[in-house]
Amino acid sequence: MTDSQNDFRRAWNRLTAKGEMCGSQSAGSFVPAGVRKNVREPGPLYHGTKADLKPGDLIMPGYPSNYGSGQKANFVYVTALKQGAALAAELAKGDGPGRVYIVDPTGPLEDDPNVTDQKFPGNPTRSYRTREPLRITGEISDWEKLDPEVLEKIRRKMKEAALAGIEAINE
């Protein structure tokens, strides 16, 4: 396991073990400090979803989010960690199996403020967002599924956050 994978696992274990998913902050209280713009990530980059897509298809902002209340997403998200995309695939709304795609961004990336700074110093999850489409270049099937109990705990925390009005940073 690489250092970045270990960093992600430690951060994720801390998040899920202590029940810190989405924090105890009010919906508008988290202000990212120092989100990097125009990030260069060597890749490969992954996107997790339940959508059945093919190479060449585009994932674009402007559609309902896979999470929370389903508000229109101003960004699409990628991660350089396969297990991060696997988690997103398992948590995404929709029917059918989770899918993890290899993607190429068509525009600039910035750090994902939903998981950086106050929640995880730096960007150990190597998670990013963009206002431009992602182009599907392939699909991977060798991703590890989460333990059902852990997945249920995360879903409960996400539901609690949504009921409290806490949504992903979308601006």
Render 81-142 in DSSP notation, one character per residue: -HHHHHHHHHHSSSSS--EEEEEEESS-EEE-TTTSTTSSSS-TT-EEEESS-EEEEEEE--
**Helix (H, G, I), strand (E, B), or coil: what is residue 45?**
strand
pTM of the predicted model as reported, rounded to 2 decimal places: 0.75
Q: 32 or 97, which is more confident?
A: 97
As given in the structure block, the two tokens for residue 145 are 């599924």
- Which pLDDT score is estimated for 60? 95
Q: Is the dihedral of CA 106, 139, 14, 7 positive or negative?
A: negative
As given in the structure block, the two tokens for residue 138 are 């392939």
Q: How many CB atoms lie within 10 A of CB 96?
A: 10
Instruction: Check if the beta carbon of residue 109 is closer than 8 Å to that of residue 128.
Output: yes
- Which pLDDT score is estimated for 160? 84
Q: What is the pLDDT of residues 88-112, one digit of tens each?
A: 999 888 888 999 999 999 999 998 8
Q: What is the pLDDT of residues 35-64, one digit of tens each?
A: 667 777 877 999 999 999 999 999 999 988
Domain 3-23+40-163 is found in CATH 3.90.1150.10: no
Distance CA 38, CA 28 (A): 25
**Helix (H, G, I), strand (E, B), or coil: what is residue 20?**
coil
